[in-house]
Amino acid sequence: MRKLTMLGTGNAMVTKCYNTCFYLELDNGGLFLTDAGGGNGILRQLELAGFDYQKCHHMFVTHGHTDHVLGVIWVMRKVADLMNKGKYQGEFHIYCHDVVMDMLLTMTKMTLKKKDFARVGTSIFLHEVTDGETVTFEDVTLTAFDILSTKAKQFGYELRFKDGMRFTCLGDEPYNEHDRQYAEGADWLLAEAFCKYGDRDKFKPYEKNHSTVKEASELAEELGVKNLVLYHTEDKSIDTRKQAYTAESREYYHGNVFVPDDLDVIPLA
């Protein structure tokens, strides 16, 4: 059964939840990981989620900000360690743009043990993807796209399943019209919502090039998507976030809206 597991749902500076990252369970039981948060807290989140590393052979990294890329180093270390202990069979593939690829190569060379780093390029592979490039694995087709960020180069992706279901991750910045073909009419759209519209003066999302729940929901309505998942939020309202964000979203969007907490599992029906 296809499922989305949110490992983290918060923005870069949260302390009451983990940074935004997630994985999908695919039709064949394989797991596909996206980003890894900002540190080795990713190992705890994966453990709590019951993540089976042996079932995960593919990962996508959206961009090089600390709250998305630093956890990848720990994932690579964990996979390399499992490989060296004979507890991981096969290869591990990471898809990312050129800037992230350079960052990961540099950081792993500087920080991993030699026997772990020796796995990079031999059984752990970094694949550079470009805007509009397509990759097929585990019976799904991924198309990477540039969100044209003004802060740091960032890619999102559209994942297509064999039956035509489309799952689109917009990254953690507002939608860009350049990517309409990947988002319009999607079955699932993952979009950032830094805070409620009424709290914009408090959290100042626009100064950080982020959206509010209102704007993300208006976008989903305009694009005609069936299911909207909101993430990369503030954590000051963590106790009421799900209810409050959902209520605001429904004022502007008439599809199914999900405001997950960390470790929530969403069936992709």
Instruction: State the CATH number of the domain containing residue 135.
Output: 3.60.15.10
Task: Give the span between the Cα atoms of 229 and 227, in whole angstroms.
Answer: 7
Tens of pLDDT, residue by residue over 130-147, are 999 999 999 999 999 999
- Look at residue 123 and tell me if it is in a domain: yes
Tens of pLDDT, residue by residue over 22-48, are 999 999 999 999 999 999 999 999 999
| pLDDT greater than 90 at residue 80 | yes
- Look at residue 262 and tell me if it is in a domain: no
What predicted TM-score, i.e. pTM, was given to this entire model?
Answer: 0.98
- Look at residue 64 and tell me if it is in a domain: yes
Total tally of structural domains belonging to the chain = 1
DSSP-derived letter for residue 123 is T
Task: Give the span between the Cα atoms of 149 and 139, in whole angstroms.
Answer: 30
Scanning the chain, the segments in alpha helix (DSSP H) are: 41-48, 66-84, 98-111, 114-117, 180-183, 200-203, 213-223, 241-249
- Residue whose tokens read 């998942």: 229
Q: What is the mean pLDDT of residues 187-210?
A: 97
- Look at residue 264 and tell me if it is in a domain: no
Instruction: Look up the domain containing 104 and give its range.
Output: 3-257
Closest C-alpha among 11, 7, 18 to residue 59: 7
- Look at residue 124 and tell me if it is in a domain: yes
Task: Give the span between the Cα atoms of 238 and 120, in whole angstroms.
Answer: 38
Q: pLDDT band for position 224 (50/70/90)?
A: very high
- Look at residue 263 and tell me if it is in a domain: no
- Look at residue 240 and tell me if it is in a domain: yes
Cβ atoms of 18 and 10 within 8 Å: the answer is: yes
Q: For residue 83, report the phi and psi dihedrals to the nearest 5 degrees.
A: -60, -45
- Look at residue 121 and tell me if it is in a domain: yes
